[in-house]
Amino acid sequence: MSDTFDVVVSRTFPVPPEQAWRAWSEADLVKRWWGPTGFSCPKADVDLRVGGRTLVAMRAPAGLGGGDMYGTWTYTEVVPYSRIVYVFNFADPQGNRLVPADLGMPPGIPDDGQHVVTFAEAGAGRTTMTVVEHGYTLEEARDLSQAGLEQCVDKMAAIFASPQTLADLRREPQEQL
């Protein structure tokens, strides 16, 4: 029996890996999908490289208080268009690490969340993206994070379903790797 539980979400998008990758590498796209349904992302400072860090803010809807929650993604492995490995930490607005319990988060959420994102060609110009979050110590915490990640990936799927976004993705990326 495992001591920890993983979140796993896979989705196939109608774009090649080079375009799916941009949802993680371009701040304007991260802002469109980060956070569960109803949440917005007012901040995404992206530095997608080994040793780099992304700082994101997730804003709750007014009905849930409208507050911002910050997190960092510190990259330990980056294989362009194929694989991203990072450590997720809750953070303050400057990106300083915070422990989930100190933020009033439920027990079972890892202090240092190990994440792996893979991009696999799925034929016909499509990509299957899989996100795995490791280290949840309680099933309830894993289930809460699973639901949130599925909603984020649903928002990402909506980006790739938009004809305007698809046209924009065919243009050169904002930044070269």
pTM: 0.92
Q: Which domain holds residue 51?
A: 5-169
Does 174 score more than 80 pLDDT? no
The answer on pLDDT for 175 being more than 60 is no
pLDDT averaged over every residue in the chain: 94
Q: Which of 54, 68, 5, 60 is nearest to 38 (CA)?
A: 60
Q: Does the residue 174 lie in any domain?
A: no
Tokens of 176: 């070269």
What does the pLDDT look like over 13-35, one tens digit per residue?
A: 999 999 999 999 999 999 999 99
Within a domain: 57: yes
Phi, psi angle pair for 2, to nearest 5°: -80, 150
51 forms beta bridges with none
Structural domain contains residue 77: yes
Report if residue 144 sits inside a domain: yes
91-150 pLDDT, tens per residue?
999 999 999 999 999 999 999 999 999 999 999 999 999 999 999 999 999 999 999 999
Structure-block tokens of residue 31: 């802002």
> Does residue 175 lie within any of the structural domains?
no
Q: Is the pLDDT confidence value at 47 over 70?
A: yes
Task: From residue 32, give the alpha-carbon distance in Å to each of 20, 26, 45.
Answer: 13, 10, 13
CA distance 153 to 101: 26
Q: Residue 44 maps to which CATH number?
A: 3.30.530.20
Q: Domain tally for the chain? A: 1
